[in-house]
A and B are shown apart, each in its own frame.
Chain A
């Protein structure tokens, strides 16, 4: 395998459950050292894709190559080089924090003393060194996630798969987790993650694909996607109830593109402030006005007509 070969290569990758198609012929490559994301709402097919990459769910159709190997033939060999943080927690509540790491290292066939050494190092890394002897159950959601990340690193993997690493966590816990993932990225570890948070995708991903209804609808770096599918800025207008519907004709022409959401109107333009002034000149007076930069949320709205989180 040459150094330029992708760590993951998927062509027409498909997952069916009976008659239902959860992943519908997607193509993507993940290069060594990059942080690659799947951004999409619930049910888009992110977990199904991750499980195929993790070699725990057989592909239904298409091609998939991981670390230059075939998941069907070399599943255990590929898995020995992966670190997996699944969406659904599967820490062992009957064991302590440290035991969870050690036994997991044993699954990879590592010697016991090596497992213990790495466990202590990793507990330090995820800031759980003082909880090593505690059972897993009383840990907070954020701590459990950090422990799961530590566990995924015990075999010093070439590739880490993180399925919604911060879903359900409070902002502080999310930031701590992002910081740890960022450090891993700095060390050159290849990360593949899924998320339905656009801020997470923007923070962590060098490159991402936007998934919706089992398909990839766009691909690129966060900035490329924003440049391609949105304007530089967005003006958000909120109106008193009933007013928004009466304004249709007047808003037209104020911006490059207008999205009407149930509770607000989004006006896309390179200069958001100019839109606000132009609207005021036309005698339009929203209750609140917000000018902000475009985000991946706007990209998703543009591509699918829906919000990421609803």
Chain B
């Protein structure tokens, strides 16, 4: 090889670019499934809003006798589904792609043989998941607006970031867990006993005040409930009625993200160092 003069990379200053390379890799992989993925991220909300919002909704609105005030069931449901859909994508993205990079394709090990550090790999993946969640959240929001399921479409500009935070509050702790796994068996357990019950009982389809009083506090523990409740407050324009609650929601989601990231830095590094 011809001798070249190469700038010695400066680790401290290189943090941002190194993480960006990881994002670039994920984007390069994503190009192959881009079309199908974008198509899916519109089809899913259309199906959900049509079936649950309009189909079930017309029944609820007729039978409910104004239980929801002047709110249609579709309007009640839309923010919940938005947060739940982003949670689903975030969880999925934090499972198989992470296990793949560490166990199957071993692409993260390949990165680790370069100046990229375990922390850059973790951060790059979180950044990529954030981009994916923005895509999914935005397409969901477009469908919500098209269905007329929101009073003030501008509020979607705030609801999407909240949904993304909700997704990250799941994705980042799950990624920390995925980095400790060698097989995907644990993932179906998370879906079956974690995500599916949360999806059903976090105020997505009905207010948690409808839950038996004994079970209600469990919903408060659900990160999804915090995301759903905040998204709903934003889309219905009721944040100002309970600003402290909104702050509490953000604090819970933020804590999950920060603690999850700190744990993930450790589990990803430990896994890469073990080989």
Q: How far does the Cβ of B241 sit from chain A's closest Cβ, in whole Å?
A: 48
Q: How far does the Cβ of A211 sit from chain B's closest Cβ, in whole Å?
A: 18
Instruction: Report whether B110 and A90 are in contact in the complex, using a CB–CB cutoff of 8 Å.
Output: yes
Q: Interface residues, chain B, CB within 8 Å of chain A?
A: 1-4, 6, 8-9, 11, 14, 17-18, 21, 24-25, 28-29, 32, 105-107, 109-117, 272-275
The CA-CA distance from A280 to B114 in the complex, in Å, is 61
Q: What are 22 contact pairs spanning A and B, CB under 8 A?
A: A51-B275, A54-B113, A56-B112, A76-B14, A76-B18, A76-B116, A77-B9, A77-B11, A79-B114, A79-B115, A86-B109, A91-B105, A92-B110, A95-B28, A103-B28, A104-B110, A106-B21, A106-B24, A107-B111, A108-B114, A156-B3, A187-B1
Contact of B275 among A56, A80, A99 (CB under 8 A): A56
Residue ID in chain A nearest B109 by CB atoms = A90
Contact of B273 among A58, A156, A189 (CB under 8 A): A58
The CA-CA distance from A86 to B108 in the complex, in Å, is 13
Q: How far does the Cβ of A252 sit from chain B's closest Cβ, in whole Å?
A: 48
The CA-CA distance from A77 to B8 in the complex, in Å, is 7
The CA-CA distance from A191 to B109 in the complex, in Å, is 21
Contact of B117 among A75, A88, A156, A189 (CB under 8 A): A75
Residue ID in chain A nearest B108 by CB atoms = A90
List of A residues within 8 angstroms of B114 by Cβ: 79-80, 104, 107-108, 155
Q: How far does the Cβ of A116 sit from chain B's closest Cβ, in whole Å?
A: 13
Judge if A224 is at the interface, Cβ distance under 8 Å: no
The CA-CA distance from A252 to B113 in the complex, in Å, is 53
Q: How far does the Cβ of A41 sit from chain B's closest Cβ, in whole Å?
A: 19
List of A residues within 8 angstroms of B17 by Cβ: 109
Instruction: Report whether A93 and B105 are in contact in the complex, using a CB–CB cutoff of 8 Å.
Output: yes
List of B residues within 8 angstroms of A80 by Cβ: 6, 8-9, 114-115
- Beyond A76-B116, A79-B113, 9 additional contacts (C-beta under 8 Å) are A76-B117, A86-B110, A88-B109, A91-B105, A92-B107, A104-B110, A104-B114, A109-B9, A156-B4
The CA-CA distance from A128 to B110 in the complex, in Å, is 20
Interface string of A71-98 (1 = CB under 8 A from B): 0001111011110101011111111000
Interface string of A183-210 (1 = CB under 8 A from B): 0100101000000000000000000000
Tell me what chain A mostly uses at the interface: helix, strand, loop, or mixed: loop
**Most B C-beta atoms less than 10 A away, residue of A54, A81, A92, A155:** A92
The CA-CA distance from A121 to B8 in the complex, in Å, is 23
List of B residues within 8 angstroms of A75 by Cβ: 117
Contact of A56 among B21, B24, B272 (CB under 8 A): B272
The CA-CA distance from A76 to B13 in the complex, in Å, is 12
Judge if A57 is at the interface, Cβ distance under 8 Å: yes
List of A residues within 8 angstroms of B115 by Cβ: 76-77, 79-80, 107-109
List of B residues within 8 angstroms of A76 by Cβ: 9, 11, 14, 18, 115-117
Interface string of A114-158 (1 = CB under 8 A from B): 000000000000000000000000000000000000000101110
The CA-CA distance from A86 to B21 in the complex, in Å, is 21
List of B residues within 8 angstroms of A57 by Cβ: 273-275
Instruction: Report whether A103 and B117 are in contact in the complex, using a CB–CB cutoff of 8 Å.
Output: no
The CA-CA distance from A74 to B106 in the complex, in Å, is 24
List of B residues within 8 angstroms of A56 by Cβ: 109, 112-113, 272-273, 275
List of A residues within 8 angstroms of B18 by Cβ: 76, 109
Q: How far does the Cβ of B150 sit from chain A's closest Cβ, in whole Å?
A: 37
The CA-CA distance from A56 to B29 in the complex, in Å, is 24
